[in-house]
């Protein structure tokens, strides 16, 4: 009994110790502000214009850096086009299984594989959606624009969602013709007379949030869109340094000037929207891509260690029950005897009896405990 009282006193002392530490640093940055500062530091390492919007759907935490300025999306605009394709499918205008026959006149330069196929090849609408997203196929993109009736239906859908900065500006063919007419690519980019597509980082992030919540077209259509984006082939940006998250995403390119990537970091307890747009970068393209990857790495690391809102964790010593921050818990783990500290979840009566101490003893006996 005396050991139990001593242990109880130690854990109470640990709780009290943690409070003055915070009181001594009233000007300390909040964790989300520190994350934003780290991201801004990364953006300053690359000479480019940045627009960034980040939101954790579960906690509501947001970071917005130039997030409301309308910027060139490049191939990121293919996500709104995909949404309109699914809307028309649900309206019964055509089906995923419908087939289209490729013509030579429909082949487009740039990214994609359809331009390498022989005329007369047949592809399903699902094939076109998949190729448009996972390898950013420009031929598939223009074939789908033709299928839905041009850019107006896409823009009308985005307006109905209140995403007024998202605008499809024309098929890929228009952009490539304008590019060929201007020999100075830097001038073509900076004048911005022929953007491939337009959006603010925030509005594109809000569209991704709708898709994640099953609110874009329908729950079934939203899941199909996510599943398609999970097959993304290009992984040199958002997913590059990330572990522990699945990353459905879509890139957009006019390197070295523009390197965009938007997506969702998915885990069991967290879904974080990341929308990163860039412009006016005149350096080395891979350096810009790596900076985007480092931003995503910072975001993933931050939210990976945030406690799930649905798993309230308490710690018990005999009849006493405490909720601890990591610092006092670490101190208590050093001070308390083996198996006095057990982990409880959700309710006071639901005590799992999982020992959190004496990791070495558990390992030696062939078991493993996750702290």
pLDDT band of 28, cuts 50, 70, 90: confident
Which pLDDT value is given to residue 2?
53
Which pLDDT value is given to residue 91?
98
Which pLDDT value is given to residue 189?
97
Rounded-to-integer distance, Cα 138 and Cα 143, Å: 9
Return the higher-pLDDT residue of 360 and 124. Answer: 124
135 CB-near residues (< 8 Å, 6+ apart): 111, 112, 113, 233, 234
Q: What is the chain's mean pLDDT, rounded?
A: 83
**Is the pLDDT assigned to residue 26 strictly greater than 70?**
no
The label of the residue with tokens 């939210």 reads 303
- Average pLDDT for 311-336: 43
Which pLDDT value is given to residue 332?
38
Write 33-41 long-range contacts (CB < 8 A, 24+): 35/63, 35/298, 35/299, 35/302, 36/63, 36/65, 38/298, 39/63, 39/65, 39/295, 39/298, 39/299, 40/65
**Is the pLDDT assigned to residue 311 strictly greater than 70?**
no
pLDDT band of 29, cuts 50, 70, 90: confident
Look at residue 330 and give its three-state secondary structure: helix
Which pLDDT value is given to residue 8?
54
pLDDT band of 306, cuts 50, 70, 90: confident
Cβ(199)–Cβ(162) below 8 Å? no
Rounded-to-integer distance, Cα 83 and Cα 86, Å: 5
**Is the pLDDT assigned to residue 369 strictly greater than 80?**
no
Return the higher-pLDDT residue of 1 and 86. Answer: 86
3-19 burial string, b = 16+ CB within 10 Å, else e? eeeebbebbeebbeebe
- Average pLDDT for 192-209: 98
Which pLDDT value is given to residue 6?
52
pLDDT in tens, 87-146: 999 999 999 999 999 999 999 999 999 999 999 999 999 999 999 999 999 999 999 999
Q: Which domains does the chain have, with CATH numbers?
A: 2-28+312-364 (no CATH), 45-304 (3.40.710.10)
The label of the residue with tokens 């330069």 reads 109
Instruction: Output phi, psi for 234, to 5 deg.
Output: -80, 120
Which pLDDT value is given to residue 353?
31
- Average pLDDT for 201-212: 98
Which pLDDT value is given to residue 354?
30
- Average pLDDT for 36-53: 97
Which pLDDT value is given to residue 7?
54
- Average pLDDT for 168-178: 98
Least confidently predicted of 67-81, 124-138, 261-275, 307-321: 307-321
**Is the pLDDT assigned to residue 37 strictly greater than 80?**
yes
Return the higher-pLDDT residue of 130 and 7. Answer: 130
- Average pLDDT for 251-275: 97
């Amino acid at each position: 009994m005396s050991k139990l009282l001593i242990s109880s006193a130690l854990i109470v002392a640990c709780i009290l110790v943690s409070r003055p530490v915070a009181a001594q640093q009233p000007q300390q940055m909040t964790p989300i502000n520190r994350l934003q500062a780290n991201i801004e530091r990364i953006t300053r390492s690359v000479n480019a214009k940045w627009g960034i919007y980040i939101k954790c759907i579960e906690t509501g935490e947001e970071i917005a850096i130039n997030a409301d300025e309308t910027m060139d999306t490049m191939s990121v605009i293919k996500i709104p086009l995909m949404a309109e394709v699914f809307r028309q499918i649900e309206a019964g205008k055509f089906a995923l299984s419908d087939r289209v026959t490729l013509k030579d006149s429909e082949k487009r330069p740039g990214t994609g594989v359809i331009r390498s196929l022989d005329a007369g090849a047949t592809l399903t609408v699902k094939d076109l959606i998949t190729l448009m997203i996972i390898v950013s196929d420009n031929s598939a993109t223009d074939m789908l624009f033709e299928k839905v009736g041009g850019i107006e239906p896409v823009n009308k859908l985005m307006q109905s969602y209140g995403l007024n900065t998202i605008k499809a500006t024309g098929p890929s063919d228009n952009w490539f013709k304008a590019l060929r007419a201007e020999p100075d690519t830097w001038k073509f980019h900076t004048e911005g007379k022929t953007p491939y597509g337009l959006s603010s980082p925030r509005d594109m992030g809000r569209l991704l949030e709708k898709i994640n919540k099953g609110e874009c077209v329908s729950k079934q259509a939203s899941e199909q869109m996510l599943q398609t984006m999970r097959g993304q082939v290009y992984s040199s940006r958002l997913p590059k340094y990330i572990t522990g998250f699945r990353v459905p995403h879509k890139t957009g390119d006019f390197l070295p000037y523009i390197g965009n990537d938007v997506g969702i970091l998915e885990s069991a307890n967290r879904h974080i929207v990341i929308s990163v747009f860039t412009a006016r970068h005149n350096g080395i393209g891979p350096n810009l891509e790596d900076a985007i990857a480092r931003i995503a790495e910072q975001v993933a690391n931050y939210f990976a260690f945030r406690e799930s809102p649905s798993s309230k964790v308490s710690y018990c010593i005999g009849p006493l029950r405490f909720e601890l921050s990591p610092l006092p818990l670490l101190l208590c783990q050093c001070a308390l005897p083996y198996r006095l500290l057990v982990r409880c979840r959700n309710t006071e009566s639901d005590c799992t009896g999982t020992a959190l101490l004496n990791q070495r003893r558990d390992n030696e006996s062939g078991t493993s405990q996750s702290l």
